[in-house]
Amino acid sequence: MPSARIVIDRDFTIGPVPRRLFGSFVEHMGRCVYTGIYEPGHPEADERGFRQDVLKLVKELGPTVVRYPGGNFVSGYNWEDGVGPVEERPRRLDGAWHTVETNAFGLHEFVEWSKDADVEVMEAINLGTRGVDAAREIVEYANHPGGTALSDRRIANGAKAPFDIKLWCLGNELDGPWQIGHKTAEEYGRLAQEAGKAMRFVDPSIELVAVGSSNSGMPTFGSWEHTVLSHAYDEVDYMSMHAYYQEHDGDASSFLASAVDMDYFIESVVATCDAVRAKRKAKKYINLSFDEWNVWYQTGLETDDQPGAVSQSWREHPRLIEDTYNVTDAVVVGTLLNSLLRHGDRVSIANQAQLVNVIAPIRSEENGPAWKQTIFWPFARMAALARGEILRTATTSDKVSSKQFGDADQVDVSATFDEQNGRVALFLANRGLDGAADVTVALNGFVGGRVLRAELLEIPSGGTRLTANTLESQDALGLVPLDGVVVDGSTATLRLPALSWAVVEIEVSKG
């Protein structure tokens, strides 16, 4: 039987768990906002139109920070269209998603919703069609206490207290030819520098994310980051990254090894940021904001839900990329989360894209129910239980080989130590499609006590690796108990069924 030995040590920590690692993303795209988080008239909506059934699931999912309002959408968006009396807001064509944007939902509504959802706002600005002026104006509107035309306009629009938004994205995917206002690295680097400077003049406390490569396969990957930082190093705090993975042509082994690519991507961007740091003899580090990541079936599944289908007519909130996620997708998402957590010393922010309906852990139907997709579970458990310090994990595992990404550990893991509550949490995945894997965990420096939680996501009986939760069968897949976890002194043993994800929480004291 395949096996893995994992060693963790109380003294070998990577750093505190960055709580912003468990972020999500709400874009004005498809049905993420409209009929997702917001649907006036829905039986579960409150007087502001916020769907309480969706909000309840969002709270259970537990994102800590939510990026808004795009995405590709933001590169043609005028934030002013979304503030002020709703009946006076303009209807606009959104070229990014070939959609009619009603602007019924905007900045004030999102800030209100974020308070209800208990998440931090991460606001993206338009550096596609707009520039320095609009960049500084939105910061003044949102964050200045009052006594100026823009801040008084916010107050007149109903928000006396400043929104106090700390995290700002300086545009979105501007390296991509598909982006409205696509730029060269030189053009973008200078614009980000000047926009960032002007925004900080208004509010010096803000944190700024520079646009990085849209994915590691971009022809400009590496040189884009280098050039942008050679201009904007002093002005920005984070470099953004985006990556989406999918199964191609039934090659599940490669798909399951996607996190090997994520590791490589993260380590490459860290190296580029640090190369610029060395060249500039700078003290500060640029950390990473992995502000779009997920499984997304971009090819091979062309249906009415795919973006190609929307270019025929202009519609309000059409169904766009409403991927249905299966067991395999959930295991991959678990390993992607592991990769992010293992790099938590440099990845400070990460946003799963997106939150509702659009490649999302939560689905909802117009005038209908809301439910959890399979990928909900690894995110929800990790967001809740990854607390305290990230532990280094030394893993010796049997390998699974893959065409696309080479060999990967069959058992993938990340771990945290919550000293305050005396708990170690292990987040585990078995990438093996056929066999269970026996796992031994050496808890060096700890004495293990009770098993506080042991939960498993696996192929349900009678199901397959493609089993998913759907409108018709909303609870086909959930977490079940992981039986047989044994803790004996400083060793824990467990068995992971084929193609599974698990979380194990163990009470520990000092060894």
- Residues with a catalytic annotation lie at 173, 292
Which of 64, 72, 258, 467 touches ligand AHR (CB under 6 A)?
72
Q: Determine the Cα–Cα distance for residues 29 and 450; give it in Å rounded to an integer.
A: 46
Q: Determine the Cα–Cα distance for residues 176 and 293; give it in Å rounded to an integer.
A: 16
Task: Please work out the total of residues on this chain that contact ligand AHR, with binding judged by CB under 6 A.
Answer: 10
Q: How far is the CB of 321 from ligand AHR (least distance, A)?
A: 7
Give burial (CB, 10 Å; 0-12/13-18/19+) of 481: exposed
- Site membership for ligand AHR, residue 172 (CB under 6 A): yes
Q: How far is the CB of 24 from ligand AHR (least distance, A)?
A: 11
130 vs 453, beta carbon nearer ligand AHR: 130
By CB under 6 A, which span of 68-76, 393-401, 407-415, 459-467 interacts with ligand AHR? 68-76
Q: Determine the Cα–Cα distance for residues 188 and 236; give it in Å rounded to an integer.
A: 13
By CB under 6 A, which span of 43-51, 67-75, 222-230, 399-407 interacts with ligand AHR? 67-75
Q: How far is the CB of 359 from ligand AHR (least distance, A)?
A: 6
128 vs 448, beta carbon nearer ligand AHR: 128
DSSP code for 460: P
Distances, alpha carbon 345 to alpha carbons 18, 74, 328, 391, in Å: 8, 29, 28, 11
Q: Determine the Cα–Cα distance for residues 467 and 328; give it in Å rounded to an integer.
A: 9
By CB under 6 A, which span of 70-78, 405-413, 443-451, 466-474 interacts with ligand AHR? 70-78
Residues 277-336 that bind ligand AHR (CB under 6 A): 292
* Other CB atoms within 10 Å distance of the CB of residue 366: 14
- Please list, in sequence order, all residues whose beta carbon lies within 8 angstroms of the beta carbon of residue 431, skipping any fewer than 6 positions away: 253, 256, 257, 331, 335, 400, 408, 409, 410, 411, 412, 499
27 vs 120, beta carbon nearer ligand AHR: 27
Measuring CA to CA, which residue among 459, 479, 480, 456 is closest to residue 468? Answer: 459
Q: How far is the CB of 358 from ligand AHR (least distance, A)?
A: 7
Alpha-carbon torsion, ordered 181, 104, 54, 336, to 10 deg: 10
205 vs 311, beta carbon nearer ligand AHR: 311
Residue 371 main-chain phi, psi, to 5 deg: -150, 170
Chain centre to alpha carbon of residue 459: 25
Q: How far is the CB of 176 from ligand AHR (least distance, A)?
A: 7
By CB under 6 A, which span of 45-53, 66-74, 117-125, 222-230 interacts with ligand AHR? 66-74
14 vs 353, beta carbon nearer ligand AHR: 353
Which of 109, 137, 173, 225 touches ligand AHR (CB under 6 A)?
173
Q: What is the contact mask toward ligand AHR in residues 11 to 50, using x (rule: CB under 6 A)?
A: ----------------x-x---------------------
Q: Which residue is nearest to ligand AHR (CB)?
A: 71
**How does strand 120-124 pair with strand 65-68?**
parallel
Q: How far is the CB of 258 from ligand AHR (least distance, A)?
A: 16
192 vs 413, beta carbon nearer ligand AHR: 192
Helical packing angle, 376-385 and 52-61, nearest 10° = 60
Angle at 267 between CA 261 and CA 271, to 5 degrees: 145
Please tell me whether the peptide bond between 69 and the residue prior to it is cis, using omega within 30 degrees of 0.
yes
Fill in the amino acid letter for 71.
G
Residues 340-379 that bind ligand AHR (CB under 6 A): 353-354
Residue written as tokens 């031994």? 440
Binding site for ligand AHR (CB under 6 A): 27, 29, 70-72, 172-173, 292, 353-354
